[in-house]
Amino acid sequence: MLLNSCIEEGVEYKTISYLNLKKTNHGWTVGSDRGGFKAKILVDATGRNRVVSTFLRIKSIIFDNLICSSFKFNVGLDFDISKILTESTPCGWWFSCSIKGRKQTVSFFTDTDLLKKMGINNLSNLQLEFITEYLAEYLGQANYY
């Protein structure tokens, strides 16, 4: 969702199928099937995919297995966009806030350990099972159905 929002705002996003990195005295030389460049600093911004760190054989340290499922929708003028919702449940927590353009985002956060204990393998399509009375009331005002 964040990536799509960035692209919507004009960020250029390129996919490559080949990556080559070389450390030089002045920084890095980056090569790819879509061109190359030199850089003083290299940032691995691929999150848990760790594309650059894996390439450089840097060992990862895993602290948790948090996951999240999110969706966004338009809200009418009657919806109070100043409200932020955070609500815990026995198996995770909800978060909702407004984003640009009278849109509302709703996310359910949990850890794969908790889902496994509940015998659940897939978070998608699950949000309805976890919806609480308070969240339902909150979303009810959004009139998004």
Ligand X SMILES: Cc1cc2nc3c(=O)[nH]c(=O)nc-3n(C[C@H](O)[C@H](O)[C@H](O)COP(=O)(O)OP(=O)(O)OC[C@H]3O[C@@H](n4cnc5c(N)ncnc54)[C@H](O)[C@@H]3O)c2cc1C
Place of tokens 């984003």: 99
- Which of residues 58 and 66 has its CB atom nearest to ligand X in the complex? 66
Tell me how far, at minimum, the Cβ of 49 lies from ligand X, in Å.
Answer: 3
Exposed, middle or buried, 117 (CB in 10 Å: 0-12/13-18/19+)?
A: exposed
Helix H or strand E encompassing 6? helix 2-8
Which residues, 58 to 117, sit near ligand X by CB under 6 A? 66-68, 109
Interacting span for ligand X (CB under 6 A) from 32-40, 47-55, 69-77, 135-143: 47-55
Which among 71, 95, 99 is positioned nearest to 84, based on CA atoms?
Answer: 95
Please select the residue that binds ligand X; options are 10, 35, 47, 101, rule is CB under 6 A.
47
How many residues of this chain bind ligand X (CB under 6 A)? 11
CA distance 140 to 80: 12
Nearer to ligand X, 4 or 132 (CB): 4
Q: For binding to ligand X (CB under 6 A), which residues are involved?
A: 2-3, 45-47, 49, 51, 66-68, 109
